[in-house]
Amino acid sequence: MEEATTPIEPSAAATEVGAAGTDAHAEAAAAHAPHGHHGPPTGFIRKYIFSIDHKVIGIQYLLLAIFAAFTGMFMSVLMRLNLTWPGHKWTILETIFPLGAPGGVMTPEFYLSLVTMHGTMMVFFVLTTAPQGGFGNYFLPIQVGAEDMAFPVLNMLSFWVTLVGLLVLISAIFVEGSTIVGNTDFVNNFLGGGGTGTLGPIGGWTGYPPLSALGKVAGPGQGAGATLWITSIAIFCIASLLGALNFITTLLNMRTRGMSLMRMPLTCWSWFTTAILALLAFPVLLAAGVLLLLDRHAGTSFFIPGGLVFNDVVQAHKGGSPILWQHLFWFFGHPEVYIAILPGMGATSHILSTFARKPVFGYRAMVFAMFAIGLLGFFVWGHHMFISGMDPRTSIAFSVLTLSIGVPSAIKTFNWLGTLWGAKIRFTVPMMFAIGFVSLFVAGGITGLVLGQTSLDLFIHDGYFVLAHFHLVMGVAAIFGMFAGVYFWFPKMFGRMMSERLGQLHFWPTFIGVYCIFVPMHIMGIVGMPRRYASFQEYDFLRPLDPLVLLVTIAAIVTAAAQFIFLFNFIWSIFKGKRASGNPWEATTLEWVTPTTPPPHDNFGGHLPTVYRGPYEFAVPDAPEDYVMQTTPDAGEGNVAAAGAGQGSGQGVQGSSGNGHNGQH
Partner 1 sequence: MGRALGVLIWLLTIGSVWLFVNGRWWLPPYISEHGPAYDRQFMITIIVVGLSFAAAQIGLGWAVWRYGARGNRGERAVYSHGNNRLEIIWTAITALIFITLGLMGQRVWAQLHLNEAPAGSTKVHVVAQQFQWNFHYPGADKNFGRTDPNLVKDAELNFVGLDEQDANAKDDQVVTTLAVPVGRPVELTLESKDVTHDLFVPELRYKQDVVPGMAIKMHFTLTKEGRFELACAELCGQLHYKMKSYLIALPANVYDELVAMPQAQFQGRITQLIKEYPLGIRQGAATTAALR
Task: Find the binding residues for partner 1 in span 310-349 (CB under 8 A).
Answer: 310-312, 314, 320-323
Among the listed residues 34, 98, 102, 406, the single contact to partner 1 using CB under 8 A: 406
Binding residues for partner 1 restricted to 491-520, rule: CB under 8 A: 504, 508, 511-512, 515, 519-520
Q: Does 628 bind partner 1 (CB under 8 A)?
A: no
Alpha helices in 130-265 (DSSP H): 137-144, 152-177, 179-182, 185-190, 224-253
Those residues with Cβ within 8 angstroms of residue 120's Cβ, 6 or more apart along the chain or in another chain: 169, 205, 229, 232, 233
Among the listed residues 450, 557, 574, 641, the single contact to partner 1 using CB under 8 A: 450
The three-state secondary structure class of 463 is strand
- CA distance to 36, 267, 443, 660, per residue, from 28 (Å): 12, 20, 42, 20
Q: Which stretch binds partner 1 (CB under 8 A): 44-52, 278-286, 391-399, 485-493?
A: 391-399
> Shortest Cβ distance from residue 596 to partner 1 (Å)?
26
Q: Does 635 bind partner 1 (CB under 8 A)?
A: no
Among the listed residues 18, 389, 624, 655, the single contact to partner 1 using CB under 8 A: 389
Binding residues for partner 1 restricted to 86-105, rule: CB under 8 A: none
Among the listed residues 2, 546, 626, 634, the single contact to partner 1 using CB under 8 A: 626
Binding residues for partner 1 restricted to 516-535, rule: CB under 8 A: 519-520, 522-524, 526-528, 530-535
Question: Which candidate, 69, 190, 194, places its Cα nearest to that of 122?
Answer: 69
Q: Which stretch binds partner 1 (CB under 8 A): 18-26, 120-128, 362-370, 640-648?
A: 362-370
Q: Angle at which helices 137-144 and 478-494 pack, to 10 degrees?
A: 70
> Closer CB to partner 1, residue 119 or residue 141?
119
Determine the Cα–Cα distance for residues 415 and 428; give it in Å rounded to an integer. Answer: 21
Among the listed residues 220, 223, 258, 615, the single contact to partner 1 using CB under 8 A: 220
Binding residues for partner 1 restricted to 364-383, rule: CB under 8 A: 364-365
Question: Which candidate, 488, 494, 430, 483, places its Cα nearest to that of 56?
Answer: 494
CB burial readout 439-452, b (16+ within 10 A) else e: ebbbbbbbbbebbb
Q: Which residues pair with 310 in a beta bridge?
A: 313
Other beta carbons less than 10 A from residue 309's beta carbon: 8
Q: Does 280 bind partner 1 (CB under 8 A)?
A: no
Determine the Cα–Cα distance for residues 17 and 370; give it in Å rounded to an integer. Answer: 19
Binding residues for partner 1 restricted to 127-166, rule: CB under 8 A: none
> Closer CB to partner 1, residue 189 or residue 455?
455
Q: Does 357 bind partner 1 (CB under 8 A)?
A: yes
> Closer CB to partner 1, residue 495 or residue 528?
528
> Closer CB to partner 1, residue 183 or residue 388?
388
Q: Does 443 bind partner 1 (CB under 8 A)?
A: yes
Binding residues for partner 1, total number by CB under 8 A: 122
Q: Does 414 bind partner 1 (CB under 8 A)?
A: yes
Measured between its terminal Cα atoms, the distance across the chain in Å is 23
Q: What are phi and psi of 164, to 5 degrees?
A: -60, -45
Among the listed residues 248, 287, 410, 574, the single contact to partner 1 using CB under 8 A: 410
Q: What are phi and psi of 618, to 5 degrees?
A: -105, 155
Binding residues for partner 1 restricted to 103-132, rule: CB under 8 A: 108-109, 112
| Residues 509 and 477 sit within 8 Å (Cβ to Cβ) | no
